A and B are shown apart, each in its own frame.
Chain A
Amino acid sequence: MSIQVQRISKQYGSFAALSDVSLTIESGELVALLGPSGSGKTTLLRIIAGLESPDEGLIRLHGEESTGHSASKRGIGFVFQHYALFRHMTISENVAFGLRVQSRKLRPSRGDIRERVRELIHLVQLDSFAEMYPEQLSGGQRQRVALARALAVKPKVLLLDEPFSALDAKVRKELRDWLRRIHDELHVTTVLVTHDQDEALEVADRVAILNQGGLEQIGTPQSIYDNPASPFVYNFLGNVNLFHGRLLADLSPEARGDGRKEPIESAVGFVRPHELEVSRDLPPDEKAVVASVVRIHSAGPQVRLELSIAGNGRPVTAELGRKQFEEMALAPGDSIFIWPQSIRLFDDDGARALLLDQGAGI
């Protein structure tokens, strides 16, 4: 079932939690709502669920307007950050709850309920825990129960509110992969709220990035990683180096990205650490700056260098493969040349993305 969010706004007192947010989630898609805390992502999820009502705008579930429908009538599954399992019920009673409270007309027979609960508990691999109580389970297991409970009512939409953020890193990674597998099996339209960009980029078909109540960008993980639409997105998705500079020549009209005529003099350039080339030798075109190595983080597949640009002392981070690192035999204090493979420019207020050829000077 598709979800259409149309021009949703929500105000808490003087704080605008969401302002004029629109997006469409296709049937069977897994979309992550990504943003820092206070960006409005959870509010948007709760509005889709019907747990909050928007001040303005509409929610359409499968084309049908549902803004006025209560949460209990929307046919959604919701998974909470802190599990919200019913503490006085066993695991199977928890999973059966959504079926047992259905009106008599819709409610499956006792036998069917028992069978469905057994299937779901098997799906989340907790067969031997069926008769235990939530407090006897670990965090990861509880969240799997919560997912089984949400899936029991065969929801057309599954909404997850930071489901893994209370878990430790290893369990979080496991559950993330597992969620993706379940989604591929069941194809239920899923919206996942998270503040963890790795989680969003890894699990989701598309990622919607929110900031201060507005939608910054939506797209596939690769497209938003490769083409961030704003400095905010650039900053939020992993490490980035920032260069302020003046443009030596004005850009061609098509490079400027809009029809404005006035000259653009200064700009901000973004370069990801792995896009920064490092070498002991000056490159042939001689477009490079000298930097000294401050610190080396060599635990992991990539080696991260903290550098300081000679002259102005600005800190810069570069990443390189282990092999290159070993060949260069770098040590703190060494002076090296650095230059960007590619750079992405925004004008000073970040409103416009500018195009630039590779290899342009900083």
Chain B
Amino acid sequence: MSGRGANSSSALLQPSMQQRTGRIVLIVAALLFLAVFLVLPVVAVFTQAFSQGWKMYADSIHQEDVLSALRLTGLVACISVPLNMLFGIAASWAITRFEFHGKSLLITLIDIPLAVSPVVAGLMYVEVFGLHGWFGPWLSEHNLHVIFAVPGIVLATVFVTFPFVARELIPFMQAQGSDEEVAAVVLGANGWSVLWRITLPNIKWALLYGTILAASRSIGEFGAVSVVSGHIRGQTTTLPLEVEMLYNEYNFTAAFAAASLLTLAAIVTLVLKKTIEVTSGVHRHTEEKEAQS
């Protein structure tokens, strides 16, 4: 009995020739898959972008339309990301610190943008704010433009990126509990003091993490924005829309040059995200809590 046991355990530790080949095959298959579906496309974007040399690349980006798309994308991100931070903090604070009726409904509502196709989101805004929509006549009377203008693009982006901060904060704040905040209140702190001195310092890494995800999505959003933008060159095209338009015009070098900017933004996001995970232990924290309980 004992002899057999020893044999089988050593067999586990030292794989047979067959098992070793099996392992190598699997690893190679996984690496190949990664290379073909993830690395190669990224490389292709940059090769295409630089296919006619540095000068052509620089010129493509320096076109007035591309620059204006870049500016618009930046503007939209600068408006929608802070809005989402505010909303995310408020929603997670309410959900994790208070008991109220309709709480589960609110949690469900926050997830809607993730469940709904972005195109549908865009169409909803057209239906509400468009010329023939509910508020359309009133808006055009007052000379306010939402659809096919910058406000519509901001609205669509805010909608699509709505859940990112809140979804990151809610589980984190639930795991942290409200003891410290209650302690601060008893010590005489008012609501603002509690928020600035206790809550925000405690959630800063999770907040930053969610914000980066929201920012990356708001830069890259295509579907919802495409519906409400109207594709007016130099006015209502964001960078992803500009890429599509250039591509449809067979201007491949320019399209890939613009796309390379988006790809760069994505790479920066990933690096930042990883750095935060490592330095702050945002996700480690919740795991520890789970392990404790």
Contact = CB atoms under 8 A, between A and B. Distances in A.
Interface of A: 49, 51, 70-73, 76-78, 80, 82, 84-88, 97-98, 101-102, 146, 149-150, 152-153
A86 B180 CA distance: 6
Contacts of A88: 201-202
Given A72-B190, A101-B193, A84 B185 contact: no
A87 B184 contact: no
Q: In the complex, which of the residues B180, B182, B183, B190 has the most CB atoms of chain A within 10 Å of its own CB atom?
A: B183
Q: Report the 4 A-B pairs with minimum CB-CB distance, sorted nearest first.
A: A98-B187, A84-B179, A84-B183, A101-B189
Contacts of B188: 72-73, 98, 101-102, 153
A101 B197 contact: yes
Nearest to B178: A84
A77 B183 CA distance: 9
Contacts of A102: 188
Contacts of B182: 51, 71, 80, 84
A152 B198 CA distance: 18
A71 B185 CA distance: 7
B28 interface: no
Given A51-B186, A88-B202, A97-B187, 6 more contacts: A72-B189, A78-B186, A87-B180, A149-B183, A149-B187, A153-B188
Contacts of B197: 86, 97, 101
24 contacts: A51-B182, A51-B186, A72-B185, A72-B186, A73-B188, A76-B186, A80-B182, A82-B179, A84-B180, A84-B182, A84-B183, A85-B183, A86-B184, A88-B201, A97-B184, A98-B187, A101-B184, A101-B189, A146-B183, A149-B183, A150-B186, A150-B187, A153-B187, A153-B188
Q: In the complex, which of the residues A51, A71, A86 has the most CB atoms of chain B within 10 Å of its own CB atom?
A: A86
A101 B186 contact: no
A319 B182 CA distance: 46
A136 B220 CA distance: 43
A98 B201 CA distance: 17
A49 B186 contact: yes
